[in-house]
Amino acid sequence: MLVAGVLLGPAVTAQADNLEVATVDMQEVLMVHPSIMDAQQQIQEEQMEMMAELEDMDEEEAAMQQQQMQQQLQQMQQDLLEDAIADVETDIEDIAAELGYNVVLNSEGIVSGEENLDSVDITEDIMEEFNGDAEDMQPEL
């Protein structure tokens, strides 16, 4: 085992020399990403529609339907958020690559060693990109 470590040492070091590391605050990014905001809007609209349907039912029917509707809403929420998070991750990878980074770490997940990590926080760069996209999507008056 020691021989393998000695033989692989230079290769690992060579790879580490090309490693450009960035960090990003995922919580902050998730709050402004258009896909997340769209998913939240769709979930809220569906919830309002379901509540209106329940109001139109008598108490007994509403009680029976409420649990089923809650399950449908939870499944919709899970599906929409999974898709939105995948969009966020893809966008982060693309922006990081444009900026020259080949590894992006969630800054919230770094427990120890951040002071030894030669990295740059690109959260603001990513948020600016998303805010620009959101402004481009809004209709001009």
Per-residue pLDDT tens digits for 6-41:
444 444 444 556 888 899 999 999 988 999 999 999
CATH 3.30.910.20 fits domain 20-137:
yes
pTM of the model: 0.68
Measure the CA–CA gap between 22 and 19, rounded to whole angstroms.
Answer: 10
Segments making up each domain of the chain, as ranges: 20-137
138: part of which helix (H) or strand (E)?
Answer: none
Measure the CA–CA gap between 73 and 83, rounded to whole angstroms.
Answer: 15
Check residue 112 and report its DSSP letter: S
How far apart, in Å, do the first and last CA atoms of the chain sit?
68
Give tens-digit pLDDT for 102-136: 999 888 877 665 555 677 889 998 888 887 654 54
